[in-house]
């Protein structure tokens, strides 16, 4: 467990270091990043949202929760003000449209689905997209639906891409659902709780999807062309492979759990990807020419009331980032408190209750040109 405390955190220089367990990639010097507790409007920390996505929206950020969150956090988008990490009170509960009430997926979507990732339509900021992950607890679909959606290329119950549209009453209406299909050659395997955890739009309405692991325990990224007629069908939406040089690890689990698109001032395209287990940021070249750059991060949690030896920030043992959002030249991150290990973070008693409530933190760091050299 990390035991040092800091008052002022700086960004470390990016120097070439030792090789990681991938055996091929240089590891950079650690970034050191401060986190601020996300607060409700009454000043209390946010209760157990199990954050599973983060995205820039208008002047702030939006986040959502997975099915293991506190009931008050489920099935809604919540807005965060960047300047003070406070929830703004603009919440958007999800509602299934009348048209989808007879869909093959209506039962699952209506029964606290496992929602992951969040992105905004690049041409309409009232439209959002999310994906589903674990459906092992769901009631089986009808025989006809099971036959129609049998060839998922992955899990028995298909991964679903879900379209939400903001309504005048501030609800987020679920207007469309399409199952995603992996080809056999992708070798995704049947891992119900290790599926799609990241979404990001690039140029020309290309949607990138990050997968936690395939049959070889390697993280993967696929793409999907979101054409204007995409939602006119409820058939499988087949994903496409493309050439990116992701790290290949010899052992262990190294999933990716959040990402966003970034274009350098000179037009080069990248994905900035959070690897939750490793507490690292991956800089992925979308042209597939460069090896992925791995940036380790040391995360720090703010201490709201100082005491001797516990001042300003404390080092975290585990943050577990699951949301990544690019806003101009700043990268914003939100963590998903990992219930099994979150209390390992306790050093200063001021923060014990926050960790016990599985409260998340919001982090930011400047996007550095050196990441793309």
- Dihedral pair phi/psi, residue 319, rounded to 5°: -105, -45
Q: What is the DSSP string of 92-156?
A: EEEEE-GGGTTSTTHHHHHS---EEEEEE-TT-TTEEEEEE---TTSPPPPHHHHHHT---SS-S
Asked which of 16-25, 102-111, 202-211 is least confident by mean pLDDT, the reply is 16-25
Mean pLDDT (whole number) for 44-68: 97
pLDDT higher at 298 or 26 = 298
User: In total, how many domains does the chain have?
Assistant: 1
What gap in Å lies between CA 357 and CA 97, rounded to an integer?
A: 33
pLDDT at 221 over 70: yes
CATH no. for residue 209?
A: 2.115.10
27 band by pLDDT with thresholds 50, 70 and 90: low
Specify the pLDDT at position 89: 87
Specify the pLDDT at position 6: 41
pLDDT at 223 over 60: yes
90 band by pLDDT with thresholds 50, 70 and 90: confident
Residue with tokens 């703004």: 88
pLDDT at 86 over 50: yes
Specify the pLDDT at position 240: 98
9 band by pLDDT with thresholds 50, 70 and 90: very low
Beta pairing partners, 258: 274
Mean pLDDT (whole number) for 310-328: 97
Q: Compute the mean pLDDT over every residue in the chain, rounded to the nearest whole number.
A: 93
Q: Tell me the per-residue pLDDT of 173-189, one tens digit each, with 9 for 90 and over.
A: 999 999 999 999 999 99
Q: What is the strand order of the sheet 220-225 is part of?
A: 196-201, 206-211, 220-225
Give percent above pLDDT 90 in the chain: 92
How many residues make up the chain in this entry?
A: 373
Contacts from 279-282 at CB under 8 Å and sequence distance 24+? 279/318, 279/319, 279/321, 281/31, 281/331, 282/246, 282/247, 282/256
Specify the pLDDT at position 26: 53
**Cβ burial, residue 127 (10 Å; 0-12/13-18/19+):** middle
Count of CB atoms within 10 A of residue 92's CB? 21
Q: Tell me the per-residue pLDDT of 126-169, one tens digit each, with 9 for 90 and over.
A: 999 999 999 999 999 999 999 999 999 999 999 999 999 999 99
7 band by pLDDT with thresholds 50, 70 and 90: very low
Specify the pLDDT at position 29: 84
Buried b (16+ CB within 10 A) or exposed e, 94-109: bbbeeebeebbbbebb
Question: 324 and 258 in contact (C-beta within 8 Å)?
Answer: yes
- Determine the 3-state secondary structure of 226 from DSSP: coil
pLDDT at 13 over 70: no
Specify the pLDDT at position 245: 97
> Could you give the angle at the alpha carbon of 178 between the alpha carbons of 51 and 271, nearest 5°?
50
Kindly list the distances between the CA atom of residue 291 and the CA atoms of 24, 158, 245, 273, 363, in Å, as whole numbers in the listed order: 9, 31, 5, 14, 26
The encoded tokens of residue 234 equal: 């409820």
Q: Which domain holds residue 166?
A: 5-372
């Amino acid at each position: 467990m990390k035991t040092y405390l800091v008052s002022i955190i700086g960004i470390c220089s990016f120097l070439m270091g030792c090789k990681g367990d991938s055996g091929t990639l240089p590891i950079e010097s650690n970034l050191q990043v401060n986190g601020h507790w996300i607060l409700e409007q009454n000043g209390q920390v946010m209760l157990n949202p199990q954050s599973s996505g983060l995205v820039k929206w208008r002047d702030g950020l939006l986040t959502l929760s997975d099915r293991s969150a506190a009931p008050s956090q489920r099935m809604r988008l919540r807005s965060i003000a960047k300047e003070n990490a406070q929830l703004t009170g603009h919440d958007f509960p999800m509602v299934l449209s009348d048209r989808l009430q007879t869909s093959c997926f209506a039962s699952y979507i209506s029964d606290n689905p496992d929602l992951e990732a969040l992105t905004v339509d690049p041409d309409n900021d009232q439209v959002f997209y999310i994906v589903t992950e674990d459906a092992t607890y769901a009631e089986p679909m009808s025989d006809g639906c099971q036959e129609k959606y049998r060839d998922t290329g992955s899990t028995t119950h298909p991964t679903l891409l879900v379209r939400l549209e903001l309504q005048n009453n501030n609800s987020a209406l679920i207007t469309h659902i399409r199952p995603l299909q992996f080809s056999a050659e992708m070798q995704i395997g049947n891992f119900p709780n290790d599926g799609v955890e990241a979404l990001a739009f690039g140029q020309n309405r290309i949607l990138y999807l990050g997968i936690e692991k395939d049959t070889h325990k390697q993280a993967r990224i696929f793409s999907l062309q979101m054409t204007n007629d995409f939602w006119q069908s409820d058939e499988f939406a087949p994903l496409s492979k493309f050439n990116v040089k992701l790290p290949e690890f010899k052992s262990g689990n190294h999933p990716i759990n959040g990402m966003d698109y970034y274009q350098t001032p000179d037009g080069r395209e990248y994905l900035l990807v959070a690897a939750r287990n490793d507490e690292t940021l991956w800089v992925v070249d979308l042209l597939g020419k460069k090896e992925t750059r791995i940036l380790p991060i040391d995360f720090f949690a703010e201490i709201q009331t100082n005491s001797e030896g516990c001042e300003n920030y404390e080092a975290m043992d585990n943050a577990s980032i699951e949301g990544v959002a690019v806003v101009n030249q700043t990268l914003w991150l939100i963590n998903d408190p990992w219930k099994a290990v979150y209390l390992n973070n306790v050093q200063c008693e001021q923060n014990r209750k926050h960790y016990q409530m599985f409260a998340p933190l919001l982090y930011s760091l400047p996007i550095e040109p050196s990441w793309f050299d």
